[in-house]
Structure 1
Amino acid sequence: MTDVLKAEDVEAAADKAKEVGAFDANTTNTTGAKTKGDVFTSFNVDDFSVPRGRDEDWRFTPLRRLNGLHDGSFPGEHAPNPVTANIPEGTSGIHVEEVPADDDRLRVAGAPVDRVGAQVFASLQRGTVLTIDDNTVVDGDITLTFTGTGPDTTSFGALAVVAGEHAEANVVLRFEGHGNYADFHSYSIGTGAHINVAIIDDMEDNAVHLANEQLRLDRDAVMRHGYSAFGGSVVRNISHVAFKAPGADCELSGVYFADDGQYFEQRLLVDHSEANCRSNVMYKGALQGDPNSDLPETRTAWVGDALIRAQADNTDTYEKNMNLVLSEGARADAVPNLEIATGEIIGAGHAATVGRFDDEQLYYLMSRGIPEPVARRLIVHGFFTEVISRIPIPAVQDELEKRVSEELDTVSLDELNSLS
């Protein structure tokens, strides 16, 4: 499914939408919000009802596998393990602080959009704030590692990344260990700053990780956000991007590889409320399952919302999600959404696919003497290379390429040979 719109294509549709009241102040969508961007937010867990399977925002999520993180019945609450910080030597202007739960900086980019995010603040004991001072240019990667507290335990975390004006830095966030973990991330990217963030979600196979992210970009800020998921039993990540002034530029890239019994879900909203901003979203995933396994079916879900508000002239936005199913016993859902309230844009579009191998690519490689199993592995690597190359942190690129290779080593030759 592909849909690409240019300004001349959009203007008539936007005018028609206004005629019928699609963006009228009194009009709401099916979630009760006036637009996708007008979702309810709160730090108070009691302001949210307990999620149900028929709720739109939870319809893909296996609620019974969340170990009570969604309804407050979670077991064994513990304080989170201390965050491990690795900062490049000889660099000034970087501050990593462990702060109490009531530190306002943990809320700098906005409030949670669901009950799990609000539960973080109801249960939070301490959080972490990474501050990058104005005009600081960091040579090397800042790495923060978050470790689960152990099987049958539950912990909560909060992180704020506050980048000052014209700051430049690479930030790598690692999630490891066992247990149930829910966290909330706030990113405040200052005027003219350029921040690259890479998230490597690789908890143990029995872990449940539910995350909320709020990204706020100021004037002319640039953010490159890369997300990867390989580990965990259930992983659900929500990312909301808000442009607070003209000229900002945000790219979100994602890589995920789900094995037998794993469930990965990504939900994104890019809210264009300012003029002259750009966004580009690309997520790619692969799935392999085992229909004879006692584990649940391998599943992934990706929901990408892009909103262009009436005042957001000269917006340029595009989102794409592609999924490669490598075996039986696996299912992927991909749902792109685009709301446009102005015809004065540079471009807007989306694409989503769920499929198997490209027969033409396979034929091309085999016609040049490459054995079929090797050709299929090359195709999978090529499938991921496009999105991995968008994450501008070389060490992370190398690591993700290696992880894809390791995942492919677990796919049988019979499975690869059967996928056409």
Structure 2
Amino acid sequence: MSTTDQTVRHGKETADKVDGVPTGEERVAIPGMSQEGEVLQQGRNQAGEPEIKHTKHGDISGVPDSSRAGRFTSYKVEEFPKLSSKLEDWRFTPIKRLKGLDEVELSGAAPAVEVVSGEGQVTVTTVGRDDARIGRAGIPEDRVSANAWSAFTEATVISVPANAEADQPLLVDINGSSMDPAAQHIVIETGANSSALVVLRHRGQAVLSQNIEFQVGEGSKLTVVSIQEWNDNSVHASAQQATIQRDGSLKHVLISLGGDLVRVTPSTRFAAQGGNVEMYGLTFVDEGQHLESRLFVDHSQPRCRSRVTYKSALQGENAHGVWVGDVLIRAEAEGTDTYELNRNLILNDGPRMDSVPNLEIETGLIAGAGHASTTGQLDDEHLYYLMSRGIPEEDARRLVVRGFLFEIIQQIGVESIEEQLRHSVEEELARHEN
């Protein structure tokens, strides 16, 4: 069992100062840290190593940045370095299996977007790349995303008007039918004080680089479920960027089950105080698959909250799962409350799981921050408990895995989708048992 667990948690203080740091109203200071965060030796990072920064014009080849705050962004592919395992963002990814999404012309037909149900107050339109709603949530942060930005000609925009409450979920099927490398762009926006649930189901076969934007309006509530159930030969790289306005709330649920290589990079940024994000993820990695999730929560505004819970199950030879969780609390983000959790279950010999939680704090005046990561096999005590009550070992193993994974599935809130995913997980387990 491999475990990493670090937590900082403090309740409100009655005094005006904590360890000599003024707190003021609803401000909490972490003992041992100043208002500017941990004081480091000049020219050194938190590990005591020489600090290395980006070079001019995004030339970052071979130069790791010590802070997520300095991550280079650009709409231009040529401003990013060629992909290499020496780059931090790509060190776990089998680059050859991307099938050229980082450099070839993405001229193939994008997967078809089909609304299955839930239209009404929610509108779905196709627009040109010059539409004013495109590009508000973020700028590409890697070469693959920038290539998709350069290549797409039209985008799908899903809009929820201000003050509207969608009475049923919007179910959208994204169906691939070609292995020609393609680009796709999707925007989901919510008006002020609205609420909606959107499910994106990726199916069929594709070699796809995709950018998805979530623009969460002031006081609105958006739940997005992104399901990847591609055919076994598919390649999918999806950059999903969210911006949350004042008192807005985003619930993001990521389910990755199918595909040869699936790499999803969800990012959340707060545009004003009072925002809230919950990010849930489930991956079931089978023999030969590479399923990767790299997320980022950027706390740049005061009094915002984030919670991250990702779980993976892995089985079969050369099954490879990757989870990287970056949380940045900037100096101005006083009152931040954040926690990220990653749990991974290895079902047999052969799989590999890389789990990297990162928490960067630039101010001590926060409500709380922490992260935890655990990777291990089935708990013998849990199995023994069930078997001692007459449950056969095979059934006991299934019960443990179900309980482990179904917690994420039940976050979706659409019973028909949840039931279908429970069935998919059962089929994955049956592959191992047979």
User: Does the TM-score normalized on the shorter chain lie above 0.5?
Assistant: yes
Do the aligned partners of 1:196 and 1:392 also contact (CA within 8 Å) in 2?
no
Q: How far apart, CA to CA, are the structure 2 residues paired with 1:235 and 1:398?
A: 23
**Which residue of 2 is the match for residue 191 of structure 1?**
218
**Which residue of 1 is the match for residue 247 of structure 2?**
220
Aligned residues: 401
**Which residue of 2 is the match for residue 96 of structure 1?**
124
Instruction: Tell me, yes or no, if structure 1 residue 298 matches structure 2 residue 319.
Output: yes
Q: How far apart, CA to CA, are the structure 2 residues paired with 1:409 and 1:80?
A: 33
**Which residue of 1 is the match for residue 25 of structure 2?**
none
- TM-score, normalised on structure 2? 0.88
Q: How far apart, CA to CA, are the structure 2 residues paired with 1:81 and 1:198?
A: 18
- Secondary structure of the residue aligned to 2:274 is coil
Note the C-alpha offset of 1:216: 0.4
1:155-182, Cα deviation, whole Å (9 max, x unpaired): 1100011110011111000111113011
Structure 2 residue identity aligned to 1:182: S
**Which residue of 2 is the match for residue 86 of structure 1?**
116
Q: How far apart, CA to CA, are the structure 1 residues paired with 2:33 and 2:83?
A: 34
Note the C-alpha offset of 1:236: 0.4
- Secondary structure of the residue aligned to 2:404 is helix
Instruction: Tell me, yes or no, if structure 1 residue 345 matches structure 2 residue 375.
Output: no
Instruction: Tell me, yes or no, if structure 1 residue 4 matches structure 2 residue 25.
Output: no
Q: How far apart, CA to CA, are the structure 1 residues paired with 2:254 and 2:297?
A: 15
Q: Which moved more, 1:395-404 or 1:344-353?
A: 395-404
Do the aligned partners of 1:108 and 1:160 also contact (CA within 8 Å) in 2?
no
Do the aligned partners of 2:251 and 2:278 also contact (CA within 8 Å) in 1?
yes
Q: Of 330, 334, 342, which aligns to 2:355?
A: 334
Do the aligned partners of 2:224 and 2:252 also contact (CA within 8 Å) in 1?
yes
**Which residue of 1 is the match for residue 139 of structure 2?**
111
Do the aligned partners of 2:64 and 2:87 also contact (CA within 8 Å) in 1?
no
Q: How far apart, CA to CA, are the structure 2 residues paired with 1:168 and 1:87?
A: 17
**Which residue of 2 is the match for residue 396 of structure 1?**
417
User: Structure 1's 314 and 28: CA in aligned 2 closer, same or farther, altered over 3 A?
Assistant: farther
Note the C-alpha offset of 1:104: 3.2
Please list, as runs of the form range in 1=range in 2, the aligned pairs for 1:281-292 lying within 5 A after superposition.
Answer: 281-290=308-317
1:220-247, Cα deviation, whole Å (9 max, x unpaired): 1111100001111000011111011111
- Secondary structure of the residue aligned to 2:258 is coil
**Identical-residue share of aligned pairs (%):** 38
Q: How far apart, CA to CA, are the structure 2 residues paired with 1:400 and 1:320?
A: 22
Structure 2 residue identity aligned to 1:170: L
Q: How far apart, CA to CA, are the structure 1 residues paired with 2:202 and 2:255?
A: 10
**Which residue of 2 is the match for residue 234 of structure 1?**
261
Note the C-alpha offset of 1:34: 6.7
Q: How far apart, CA to CA, are the structure 2 residues paired with 1:131 and 1:226?
A: 19
Note the C-alpha offset of 1:385: 2.4
Q: How far apart, CA to CA, are the structure 1 residues paired with 2:351 and 2:415?
A: 31
Note the C-alpha offset of 1:40: 1.1
**Which residue of 2 is the match for residue 123 of structure 1?**
151
Do the aligned partners of 1:11 and 1:344 also contact (CA within 8 Å) in 2?
no
Do the aligned partners of 1:272 and 1:308 also contact (CA within 8 Å) in 2?
yes
Structure 2 residue identity aligned to 1:42: S
Do the aligned partners of 2:73 and 2:139 also contact (CA within 8 Å) in 1?
yes
Instruction: Tell me, yes or no, if structure 1 residue 49 matches structure 2 residue 81.
Output: yes
**Which residue of 1 is the match for residue 19 of structure 2?**
none
Q: How far apart, CA to CA, are the structure 2 residues paired with 1:169 and 1:9?
A: 36
Do the aligned partners of 1:149 and 1:155 also contact (CA within 8 Å) in 2?
no
Q: Of 373, 379, 382, which aligns to 2:394?
A: 373
Note the C-alpha offset of 1:19: 4.7
Structure 2: gaps (5+ residues): 11-27, 55-62
Please list, as runs of the form range in 1=range in 2, the aligned pairs for 1:237-276 lying within 5 A after superposition.
Answer: 237-276=264-303
Q: How far apart, CA to CA, are the structure 2 residues paired with 1:100 and 1:16?
A: 44
Do the aligned partners of 1:123 and 1:156 also contact (CA within 8 Å) in 2?
yes
- Secondary structure of the residue aligned to 1:402 is helix
Note the C-alpha offset of 1:411: 1.4
Note the C-alpha offset of 1:188: 0.5
**Which residue of 2 is the match for residue 154 of structure 1?**
181
Structure 1 residue identity aligned to 2:342: N
- TM-score, normalised on structure 1? 0.90
Do the aligned partners of 1:78 and 1:149 also contact (CA within 8 Å) in 2?
no
Q: Of 304, 308, 318, which aligns to 2:329?
A: 308
Note the C-alpha offset of 1:382: 0.7
Cα-Cα RMSD: 2.1
Q: Of 167, 172, 176, which aligns to 1:144?
A: 172
Note the C-alpha offset of 1:390: 2.9
- Secondary structure of the residue aligned to 1:117 is helix
Q: Which moved more, 1:359-368 or 1:385-394?
A: 385-394
Note the C-alpha offset of 1:13: 4.2
Structure 2 residue identity aligned to 1:375: A
Structure 1 residue identity aligned to 2:109: A
User: Structure 1's 16 and 128: CA in aligned 2 closer, same or farther, altered over 3 A?
Assistant: closer
Note the C-alpha offset of 1:388: 2.3
Q: How far apart, CA to CA, are the structure 2 residues paired with 1:149 and 1:363?
A: 46
**Which residue of 2 is the match for residue 18 of structure 1?**
39
Q: Of 187, 199, 209, which aligns to 1:182?
A: 209
